[in-house]
Amino acid sequence: MKTRRPTIDDVAALAGVARVTVSRVLNGSGSVSPEVRGRVMHAVATLKYQVNVQARALAGGRPKVVAIVFATDVDTEPNSFYQSGLELGALRACTGTGFQLLAHAVNQTVPDPAGRILELIEQGRCDGLILTPPFSDDVELLERLASGGTPVACVSAGAATRGLAAGVRIDDEAGGHDLARHLLELGHRRFGFIRGPERHMSADERFAGFRRALAEAGLGEEAYVAARGNFTFRSGVDLLPQLAGAPLRPTAVICGNDDMAVGALFSAHKLNLAVPGDISIVGFDDTPISEVIWPPLTTIHHPLKAIGYKAANLVFRQIETPTKAAPPAHEIVPHTLVERESSGPPAGLVQTPRRARGASAAGR
């Protein structure tokens, strides 16, 4: 025999309150004392009560809406897959739950972009937010959202904001370390690095991991030359000649994402540089384009759809069971180093056979 699922009436009976009081607590509406709220939430936890989201949406007249917010700059092309990967994952999480997903772009270069995000909540256009970089690194924005009790999940938040809201990420520092270690094991000792945008903390962590790997190999700043990109194909096109022509003459270039790496490959071909014979080029994210260009990119697999899915569920849980008792939940999703043909030993180095490489740990 199947065990009967607990109902809202069961929660009300155990908490010693009326059914409407339980509804107010779970909806976050109406005035309920902290003592009563605590009794209701204790009963919810004891009975392992789960809200029927679809039924609530129908009864309330509209579905709950979660907005996923992306940064956009009208003067640059969008990232080829990063945004759509996260959006696909979040949309998959919405399927069958009664939640709807709103994808919203905010130009981070306009005055008060945070205010435009807050308007989504203030105007009742959504019930919770998924923030992507650089908005997931905006301390003031997250503090304002927290003061209003807004359900929020951050994607790839930096260290400064991880204590302010729930979030999901990979260990970007470890990913940058893995790429550098891979190239070091191939014999490279002179590097170029195309970094991500300013104020993008996860991109900076990738660069920090690269530097850590070099330090472990006894190398310092004299072993690399770096330039600041903006995660676009065009920035990779423009910056590769600058790095390749530097006095250091790097034998390998690490790019902060795949779009910049594909742009760097394009420039390398125009300069008649053999990849990886003359220069190895590697990326980050393992977006679909990394497999279809030539040579295919060595990169870090960034499980974007899984991250979008998990971020959406973090917001769902906050909407359905609002409580400030627990600290923000953070999850680190494992990444993988994917070795393809764009990386090889530097010219003139005889490479001994290497063992096959599997998944990289997300931790250190």
The whole-chain average pLDDT of the chain stands at 87
Residue with tokens 């759809």: 305
Q: What is the CA radius of gyration of the chain?
A: 24
pLDDT at 199: 81
Q: What is the arithmetic mean of pLDDT over 124-132?
A: 92
Give the C-alpha distances (Å, rounded to integers) separating 228 from 170, 190, 216, 306: 22, 18, 24, 28
Number of other CB atoms surrounding residue 218 within 10 Å? 8
Evaluate whether 8-50 and 61-170+305-333 have a shared fold.
Answer: no
**Per-position b or e across 311-341, b if 16+ CB within 10 A of its CB:** bbbbbbbbbbbeeeeeebebbeeebbbbbbe
Higher pLDDT, 273 or 5: 273
Q: For the ranges 11-15, 16-20, 68-72, 305-309, which has the lowest average pLDDT?
A: 16-20
pLDDT at 130: 97
The residue among 169, 190, 138, 210 whose CA lies nearest residue 307 is: 169
Q: Is the pLDDT of residue 207 over 50?
A: yes
Q: Is the pLDDT of residue 114 over 60?
A: yes
Q: For the ranges 49-58, 152-161, 333-342, which has the lowest average pLDDT?
A: 49-58
Homologous superfamily of 8-50: lambda repressor-like DNA-binding domains (1.10.260.40)
Give the C-alpha distances (Å, rounded to integers) separating 267 from 41, 65, 238: 59, 43, 8
Taking the C-alpha atoms of residue 191 and residue 209, their distance in angstroms, rounded to an integer, is: 14
Higher pLDDT, 211 or 358: 211
Q: Which fold has domain 172-301?
A: Rossmann fold (3.40.50)
Q: What is the arithmetic mean of pLDDT over 99-114?
A: 88
Give the C-alpha distances (Å, rounded to integers) separating 95 from 53, 69, 79: 11, 19, 25
Q: What is the arithmetic mean of pLDDT over 322-331?
A: 71
- Strand pairing category for 299-301 and 336-338: antiparallel
Residues 133-192: tens digit of each pLDDT: 999 999 999 998 988 889 999 999 988 898 899 999 999 999 999 999 999 999 999 999
The residue among 142, 143, 139, 155 whose CA lies nearest residue 69 is: 155
pLDDT at 354: 46
Instruction: Say how far residue 240 (Cα) sits from the centre of its chain.
Output: 26
pLDDT at 28: 62
DSSP labels for 200-263?
-HHHHHHHHHHHHHHHHTT--GGGEEEEE--SSHHHHHHHHHHHHTSTT--SEEEESSHHHHHH
Peptide bond into 276 cis (omega under 30): yes
- Domain positions in the chain are 8-50, 61-170+305-333, 172-301
Contact 195, 256 (CB under 8 A): yes
Homologous superfamily of 61-170+305-333: Response regulator (3.40.50.2300)
Q: Which residues pair with 332 in a beta bridge?
A: 169
Q: Is the pLDDT of residue 355 over 50?
A: no
Residues 16-40: tens digit of each pLDDT: 987 768 777 776 655 678 888 889 8
